[in-house]
Amino acid sequence: MTIAVANAAKIKYDLTVNLKGANLSGKGHRWLIAGNNEMDYNEPGKAPQVRIMEETVENFCGQLEVPALSITLYRLAKKSGKQ
């Protein structure tokens, strides 16, 4: 399952999601796309201001962390053997 959240606010949010019946393993990956402020952008030939950071999700339990001024993608794995 993939979930994407865009946060244009200057504050972090913790988002509670109810995925009843999704049968997830609790493991997955998170990609965070963000800069340091809302005016950051990437310009060819210069060091990136907006970066993509990948992290491992180990214990997903219905709470998504959504940092300020970011786009966050979660890919959550299903339990083995359950389709």
* Digit-coded pLDDT (tens) for 47-80: 999 999 999 999 998 899 999 999 999 999 998 7
Percentage above 70 pLDDT, the chain:
96
Residues paired with residue 24 on neighbouring β-strands, in sequence order:
78
For 64, the token pair is 């998504």
Tell me which residue of 13, 49, 47, 17 sits closest to 33, measured CA to CA: 49
d(CA 7, CA 12): 8
Structure-block tokens of residue 31: 């990609």
- Which pTM was predicted? 0.83
**d(C-alpha 29, C-alpha 22), whole Å:** 16
